[in-house]
Structure 1
Amino acid sequence: MAESAACPAFQLGRPRYDQSSFLGRLRHFIDIIDPSTLFVSEKGLKECIKLLDDYKDGKLPPGVSDLQLWEAQKIKQAIIHPDTGEKIFMPFRMSGYVPFGTPIWLNQSHNACVNYANRNATKPTPTSKFLQGYVGAVTSAVSIAVGLNVLIQKANKLSPATRMIIQRFVPFPAVACANICNVGLMRHNELSEGIDVLDNNGNVVGSSKTAAKHAIMETAFTRVVLPMPIFVLPPIIMSYLERLRFLQSNRRLLLPIHSVVCLVTFGLSLPVAISLFPQMSQIEVSRLEPEIAMATDCKVVTYNKGL
């Protein structure tokens, strides 16, 4: 009885938590980014997929609980791309975003690969366009970050105190702009090709460039929100920790502790940021291309925003 109260009845292909609320999306994405899914073996993944297929075909073995089915679906959603049905390379899954994206020298390259791997993939992307997007994304991101810092350092007319204050705030707009460019360039193919939109029955009713624009804008906004806590919380936390007598007498521990605080903050901010919008977003047909409005009687259609 306690399990049924805590665990709703399983519904294949439906989220376990209510996606119309921020809290429901947060709980859903905490599942999706669970680092333990990085260590699921090929055998374990196949067992999860078979369990879900058995449920779909009405051949579920006796004794399988709703909780086991939800866990199997969680693992599949964390590893398999919803559009292509193919495995996402482990470092580029959303569950690998924090552990593989933390090293600063890998950050923007890793961001580019994550943005590509978790895009809307209803239309194929040629390798040449991927490479163009990757080079453009990483180059623009690094150029923005370095350029803003150089600009501040060369601002000789500013007093040292003013320059120092500005330098403390420069990293956030630099990272935010870099992340926007990264998302836009890695997913620019969606803008030219459009993405599939689905009716209430999950049938494709057309390909929309307008929906693609909304998908990319929503994803880019999450990448702006993502670094906010990372620039705010660690300095506040460290200001308290540095007062501890233990750390005052062991200054060499400050750097590793600061790294751990940043890592934990990064891990907490990721599900919050990507929970701002549901992955399967909706848009009114009246806002889309005329040919889509003519192809369906639905007032609202659904599309995969990507992550």
Structure 2
Amino acid sequence: MSASEEYPAFRLGESRFDQRSFYGRLRHFLNVIDPRTLFVSESHLNASVRMLEQFKNGSLPPGVTDAQLWEAQKIKQAIIHPDTGEKIFMPFRMSGYIPFGTPVVVGLLLPNQTLLSTVFWQWLNQSHNACVNYSNRNASQPTSGSKFLQGYLGAVTSAVSIAVGLSVFVQKAERFSPATRLLVQRFIPFPAVGCLCCRGAHGWCCQCTVWCVWRLSAWPCPSPSACSLSSPRSTCLCLNQRLLQRQTARL
């Protein structure tokens, strides 16, 4: 692959990858969650922001390449909230979702869970998700704290109820052999988490994300009601595209 194909002509606020294909959308999403941006220094961040401002004003110094501009935009979008202009707390950035979320997933899948450990890991998982959602929310449209709290409590209550209920059901299922019971218990976290992705606790759009990634044409979103600007869910690619558009207007 040539350098021109790897780094096309820079377009402010747009994706570096072709959003009309699945492979392009996949590469875009992998770029968004790249954990290397967690280690960007303050001086590097400031230099990236300054470079983008110079590009917008038409005052770029000679010798700046498209690769440098794409990298600068990636760094700014990974660290700075497009509405508030403030740095997002590291554990709640999209680029931090894998390194900070993986320990929680491991905890959810630990064998021989007790009732207390099941409640704890489900609560921790939903708390982490809620913090990521809030930190990447659409701050251009004020939303009351009570609405986020209601969504958070609903998510935690639902996840814990499903996980605990299924655990009790499996333990009391007499027709399950010990080996089968142990195997089924390993998969209990999946329905507990998956059911929440399909409900509207506070504007979830996990289903919308799946559609947007797999569709042959990326836009418009086939489920706009689940992916509106009022949704705090940043993992949806449709919402990510709109965040890019708002960020461009603020550069």
**Which TM-score applies when normalising by structure 1?**
0.59
Q: 1:221 to 1:158 in 2, by over 3 A?
A: farther
Residues 212 and 221, structure 2, Cα contact 8 Å, conserved in 1:
no
How far, CA to CA, are the matches of 2:141 and 2:54 in structure 1?
A: 29
Matched residues in 1 for 2:29 and 2:91: separation? 17
When residues 161 and 39 of structure 1 are mapped into structure 2, their CA distance, relative to the original with a 3 A threshold, is closer
Q: Percent identity among equivalent residues?
A: 63
The verdict on how the C-alpha distance between 1:281 and 1:84 changes in structure 2, with shifts beyond 3 A counting, is farther
Q: Corresponding residue for 2:62?
A: 62
Per-residue displacement from partner, 1:36-87 (whole Å, max 9, x unpaired)? Answer: 1112233322211110110010000111111000000111111223444433
Counterparts of 2:176 and 2:82, CA distance in 1:
51
| Cα deviation code 1:197-220 (max 9, x no counterpart) | xxxxxxxxxxxxxxxxxxx44x34
Aligned-partner Cα distance in 1 for 2:173–2:208: 30
- 2:220 corresponds in structure 1 to 282
SS of the aligned residue for 1:167 comes to helix
Distance 1:33 1:162, change over 3 A: closer
> What is the letter of the counterpart of residue 132 of structure 1?
Q
Structure 1 residues 275 and 283: alpha-carbon distance in aligned structure 2, compared to 1, 3 A threshold: closer
Cα distance in 2 for residues equivalent to 1:277 and 1:127: 34
- Give the secondary structure class of the aligned counterpart of 1:51: helix
Structure 1 residues 277 and 130, CA gap change in structure 2 (3 angstroms): farther
Structure with more of its chain in strand, by fraction: 1
- Structure 1: give runs of 5+ residues left out of the alignment: 189-215, 226-272, 289-302
Q: SS of the residue aligned with 1:11?
A: coil
The aligned residue for residue 99 of structure 2 is: 99
User: 1:242-261 maps to which residues of 2 (within 5 A)?
Assistant: none
The whole-number CA distance in structure 2 between the counterparts of 1:21 and 1:76 is 25
How far the C-alpha of 1:277 sits from its partner, in A, is 7.0
Tell me the TM-score normalised to structure 2 length: 0.70
How far apart, CA to CA, are the structure 2 residues paired with 1:129 and 1:277? Answer: 31
Tell me how far apart the structure 1 counterparts of residues 133 and 35 of structure 2 sit (CA, whole Å).
18
Shift of 1:145: 1.7
Among 152, 160, 165, the alignment partner of 1:142 is 160
Measure the CA separation in 1 of the matches of 2:56 and 2:79: 19
**Cα 1:136–1:123 shift into 2, 3 Å:** same
User: Contact 1:141–1:179 (CA<8 Å) still a contact in 2?
Assistant: no
List structure 1 runs of 4+ shifted beyond 6 angstroms: none
SS of the aligned residue for 2:13 comes to coil
Q: Which residue of 2 aligns with 1:203?
A: none
Distance in 2 (CA, whole Å) between partners of 1:35 and 1:277 is 26
Is 2:126–2:152's contact at 8 Å kept on the other side of the alignment?
A: no
Letter in 1 for 2:88: I
Q: Is 2:32 the partner of 1:14?
A: no
Change in 2 beyond 3 A, CA 1:118/1:50: same
1:152-204 deviation digits (Å, cap 9, x = unpaired): 112235444553453344332223124445xx33x34xxxxxxxxxxxxxxxx
Which one is further off, 62-71 or 148-157?
A: 148-157
> Structure 2 vs 1, CA of residues 135 and 59 (structure 1 numbering), >3 Å: closer, same or farther?
same
Distance 1:56 1:221, change over 3 A: closer
Q: Is the 1:281–1:304 contact (alpha carbons within 8 Å) kept by the matching residues of 2?
A: no
Partners of 2:212 and 2:219 within 8 A in 1: no
Kindly indicate whether the alpha-carbon contact (under 8 Å) linking 1:152 and 1:167 is maintained by their aligned counterparts in 2: yes
Partner of 2:239: 304
Aligned residues: 211
Match of 1:115 among 119, 130, 133: 133
* Residues 142 and 178, structure 1, Cα contact 8 Å, conserved in 2: no
Q: 1: CA distance between counterparts of 2:67 and 2:96?
A: 24
DSSP 3-state at the match of 2:141: coil
Q: Give distance in 2, aligned partners of 1:221 and 1:165.
A: 30
Does the residue aligned with 2:220 lie in a helix, a strand or coil? strand
- How far apart in 2 are the matches of 1:119 and 1:21? 27
Cα RMSD between the aligned structures?
A: 3.3
Equivalent-residue separation in structure 2 for 1:18 and 1:5 (angstroms): 11
Q: Does 1:76 align with 2:84?
A: no
